[in-house]
Structure formats: C-alpha cells, structure tokens
C-alpha cells in the first residue's frame, strides 16, 4: 500500500492537473504550499488557511523546529500536527538547505555536516539519518531526503561531487526512513487510513534532483534519484542565486523527463510568474516564503506585478491592493489604510498584506488548474505574463 496517491486529471502540453491524496488531505495540483517555518505561517492564523485561503498542505522547516522547541518537546506533545493543531497535510524539508545557507563554520564530510546553531552557537550535527529521525518525530505527510545544496553558480567539478554525495545521502535517507516507518516512530501515523482511503497511513518520501545549472549533471542526478525510487521527485538548487534564464532552462530540460506518474516539486520557487512558467514545463508543487516575507516589508503581489505600500502615491488611494482579487483583505481595506498601518508600525499591516499575498498565490494556482482543465492554459499564461510586463513598464515610467 502507498503512503500517497497521485492521479493526473487533465493535461495541456507538459502542464498537468492532478489530485494528490495523502493520509490527511486531498490536494489539487498544481499547488502552492505556504511555508510555516516555525510551525506557523507568519502572521496568518490556521483558521484563515483552513477557510478562506483553503490551503490543503503547508511546509514545516526541520532545521528551525529541531533547534527550537526541539524534537523532544514536539514528540512529547504528539508531533507537529497535534502540537500546532494543523490537521491537514504537512511537508517537511530535510534541514539541509538551512544548514548550508544560514550557519557558519560548517564542516562537511561523508557522514553529514557539523555546524553551529544560529540561535546559541551550540555545535550540532545533521546527517541523512538524523534528518529522517526528526521528520518522523514531526510526523509530516511528506518527508524530504537530506541533500547537499551547492551554490547556484558552482562549477562543474564541485557540482558533480555534490550530486554524487547527494545520491549516497538519498540512499541512506531512504534506508533510515524505512526503518523508522517499521519502528512506528512517525507521530503522524494514521492506523485507519487503510480502511478509509486505501493508503498505508505512513509518511511518503520524496527524492531531490540537484546539478545546479549543468543540464547533463541534472540528467545524471535524475537518473540516480529515480534508481533509488521515491514517492515523488523534487527539483532542488534553483532560485539560489543563479540567473533566471538558467532556472527556466533547467526546468524546460528536466521537468518533462521526471517520472510521469509521480508529483514533481520545485523547491523554494518563486514569484507568481515563475510558478506559471514552471507549470508550463510540467511542475506540480511549489513552496516559497515570498508571500509572507514580502508581506512583512510592505510588498504586495498583484495582477500587475508587485507594489510597495510605503510608496507615497498610495497615501490617498481608496482602492484595494488588487481590485481583481477576491480575498477578504481586498474586499474591505484600501491601500491608503494599509499604508497608514504600515507607516505607523502597526502589526496589522504585515498581517493584511501577508494574507492577501497568500490569497493571490493560491488563487493564481486555482486559475492555473482551471485553465488547464479547460485547455486554455496557453492563453492564461500569455495574458498573465503580459499583465505583469505592462505593470513593470508603468512602474518604471512613474519613476518610483
């Protein structure tokens, strides 16, 4: 019995819609997954995510939750679902990306990586086995293998070495993952899943394809990852400082070659435009901190691109952030009011913009799915991107 089930429901070119069923929720793909770094989507209560925003799956960050409150606390409280009260699906990353991007004094060897905690400077060690242990204690529906993430502009030799290490770590991740499922270490296990929806009730494990901007290495990494065999496949190491055309080139080359009957997940990407482009190449799942991170700095995603609420031209603007957006923020509040809140350091400004941004991302994906089902995704993509380009032009012309 499988941990997840995924079925394609419609196609247009490489783009596809599908239904992903986990032990905790049914998810329509392509899907955007809000990022809950510390077990919370910053500034947005679960009540909103469950009702108006209708997010079926969110992310938790293994690195952050491991350091604080710690695995012992989360395990004692019954896992991340019980602890946080989020009862829909969770995907946890491996912690590797944070270790490689946030911490100093890393020491990398075959076993894993030694580093100092960014919170208190404690010496820590993370390996494929430890990452699997933590993710079992968190009890997420989808677990990610522990991989090494080289910088986006890494040369070919560094990248090859790195993807070979990633493949060995993927194998070790899977071995430990299987042991943990057998031992019953997964706090999110649902024993009745077999009767209710014909799933194993256990966690699913996704592999990660690396290889930076080198297409032949991407192909090699894909082959090694598929050889090991996973429930789904992710594209890692994009949006890490490489040029945009490189990312699109990798997606165009790689996504259509990935296993047809498993979900394809592009990690940590990106803007609404990036999402639409990646769907065009056949990607099914996305996550990114941008909606909430930008929300906190006053930056809103709208159908004409982006706007910054700090801009003086919004001081008397009685229109909503995006007049085409159906979200509860846009139905009620004006740009002038949100700008006033922002300028007055009121926390509600970040809350309202984060909420709108998430609504915008999730609604964009809803429109993407609808247009694929209708065979009109090509038109949708064209119009969506044209509007952003036009907005950018106006933005530049206004001299701000």
Contact of 60 with 139, CB cutoff 8 Å: no
Shortest reach from residue 333's CB to Zn ion, in Å:
9
Shortest reach from residue 34's CB to Zn ion, in Å:
15
- Judged by CB, which is closer to Zn ion: 131, or 364? 364
Rounded to whole angstroms, the Cα distance separating 33 from 361 reads 9
The span of 72-80, 245-253, 325-333, 334-342 binding Zn ion (CB under 5 A) equals: 325-333
Query: Among 231, 228, 223, which Cα is nearest to 258's?
Result: 223
- Judged by CB, which is closer to Zn ion: 264, or 356? 356
Strand segments (E) across the chain: 5-12, 15-21, 26-29, 31-36, 57-60, 89-92, 107-108, 113-116, 123-126, 142-144, 204-209, 232-235, 264-266, 285-288, 299-302, 305-308
- Judged by CB, which is closer to Zn ion: 74, or 362? 362
For Cα atoms 149, 29, 36, give the angle at the middle one, nearest 5 degrees. 50
Q: What is the DSSP letter of 174?
A: H
The span of 101-109, 190-198, 354-362, 364-372 binding Zn ion (CB under 5 A) equals: 354-362
Residue list 247-306, contact with Zn ion (CB under 5 A) = none
Upstream peptide bond of 264 is cis (omega within 30 degrees of 0): no
Any catalytic annotation for residue 54?
no
Characterize 349-380 residue by residue with b for buried, 16 or more Cβ atoms within 10 angstroms of its Cβ, and e for exposed: bbbbbbbbbbbbbbbbbeebbebbeeeebeeb
Query: Among 398, 367, 395, which Cα is nearest to 28's?
Result: 367
Which tokens go with 134? 């933590």
Shortest reach from residue 355's CB to Zn ion, in Å:
8
Residue list 84-103, contact with Zn ion (CB under 5 A) = none
Residue list 154-213, contact with Zn ion (CB under 5 A) = none
Upstream peptide bond of 396 is cis (omega within 30 degrees of 0): no
The span of 68-76, 87-95, 233-241, 320-328 binding Zn ion (CB under 5 A) equals: 320-328
Residue 356 makes contact with Zn ion by CB under 5 A: yes
- Judged by CB, which is closer to Zn ion: 49, or 359? 359
Residue 327 makes contact with Zn ion by CB under 5 A: yes
Annotated catalytic residue, options 231, 274, 284, 287: 287
Shortest reach from residue 336's CB to Zn ion, in Å:
15
Number of residues located near Zn ion, criterion CB under 5 A: 6
Residue 325 makes contact with Zn ion by CB under 5 A: yes
Residue 353 makes contact with Zn ion by CB under 5 A: no
CA atoms within 13 A on the CB side of 382: 4
The span of 59-67, 123-131, 299-307, 353-361 binding Zn ion (CB under 5 A) equals: 353-361
The span of 45-53, 183-191, 194-202, 317-325 binding Zn ion (CB under 5 A) equals: 317-325
Residue with tokens 């990452």: 131
Any catalytic annotation for residue 157?
no
Shortest reach from residue 375's CB to Zn ion, in Å:
28
- Judged by CB, which is closer to Zn ion: 217, or 359? 359
Shortest reach from residue 354's CB to Zn ion, in Å:
11
C-alpha dihedral (287, 290, 291, 297), degrees to nearest 10: 160
Residue 81 makes contact with Zn ion by CB under 5 A: no
Query: Among 239, 58, 37, which Cα is nearest to 118's?
Result: 37
Contact of 51 with 86, CB cutoff 8 Å: no
Shortest reach from residue 395's CB to Zn ion, in Å:
19
Rounded to whole angstroms, the Cα distance separating 137 from 96 reads 17
- Judged by CB, which is closer to Zn ion: 210, or 354? 354
Which tokens go with 312? 């003086």
- Judged by CB, which is closer to Zn ion: 32, or 146? 32
Instruction: Give the interface with Zn ion as residue ranges (CB under 5 A).
Output: 325, 327, 329-330, 356, 359
Looking at the annotation, which residues are catalytic? 93, 287
């Amino acid at each position: 019995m499988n941990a997840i089930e995924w079925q394609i429901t419609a196609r247009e070119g490489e783009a596809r819609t599908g239904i992903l069923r986990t032990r905790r929720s049914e998810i329509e793909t392509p899907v955007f997954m809000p990022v809950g770094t510390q077990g919370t989507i910053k500034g947005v209560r679960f009540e909103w995510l469950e009702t108006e925003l209708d997010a079926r799956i969110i992310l938790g960050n293994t690195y952050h939750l491991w350091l604080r409150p710690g695995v012992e606390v989360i395990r004692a409280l019954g896992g991340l679902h019980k602890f946080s009260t989020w009862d829909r699906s969770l995907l946890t990353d491996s912690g590797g990306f944070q270790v490689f991007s946030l911490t100093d004094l890393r020491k990398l060897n075959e076993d894993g990586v030694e580093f100092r905690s960014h919170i208190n400077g404690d010496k820590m060690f993370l390996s494929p086995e430890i990452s699997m242990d933590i993710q079992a204690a968190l009890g997420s529906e989808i677990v990610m293998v522990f991989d090494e993430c080289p910088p986006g502009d890494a040369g070919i030799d560094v990248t090859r070495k790195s993807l070979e290490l990633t493949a060995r770590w993927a194998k070790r991740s899977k071995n430990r993952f299987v042991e943990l499922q057998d031992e019953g270490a997964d706090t999110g296990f649902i024993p009745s899943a077999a009767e209710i929806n014909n799933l194993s009730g256990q966690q699913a494990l996704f592999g990660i394809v690396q290889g930076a901007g080198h297409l032949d290495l991407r192909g090699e990494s894909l082959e090694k990852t598929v050889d090991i065999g996973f429930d789904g496949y992710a594209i890692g190491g994009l949006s890490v400082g490489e040029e945009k055309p490189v990312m699109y080139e990798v997606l165009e080359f790689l996504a259509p070659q990935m296993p047809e009957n498993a979900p394809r997940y592009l990690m940590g990407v990106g803007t609404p435009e990036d999402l639409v482009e990646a769907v065009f190449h056949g990607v099914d799942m996305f996550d990114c901190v941008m909606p909430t991170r930008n929300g906190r700095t006053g930056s809103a995603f709208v159908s004409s691109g982006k706007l910054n609420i700090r801009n003086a031209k919004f001081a008397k603007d009685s229109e909503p952030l995006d007049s085409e957006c159906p979200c509860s923020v846009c139905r009620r509040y004006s740009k002038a009011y949100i700008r006033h809140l922002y300028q007055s350091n009121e926390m509600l400004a970040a809350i309202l913009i984060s909420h709108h941004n998430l609504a915008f991302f999730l609604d964009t994906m809803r429109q993407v799915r609808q247009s694929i089902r209708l065979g009109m995704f090509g038109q949708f993509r064209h119009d969506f991107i044209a509007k952003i380009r036009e907005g950018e032009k106006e933005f530049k012309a206004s001299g701000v």
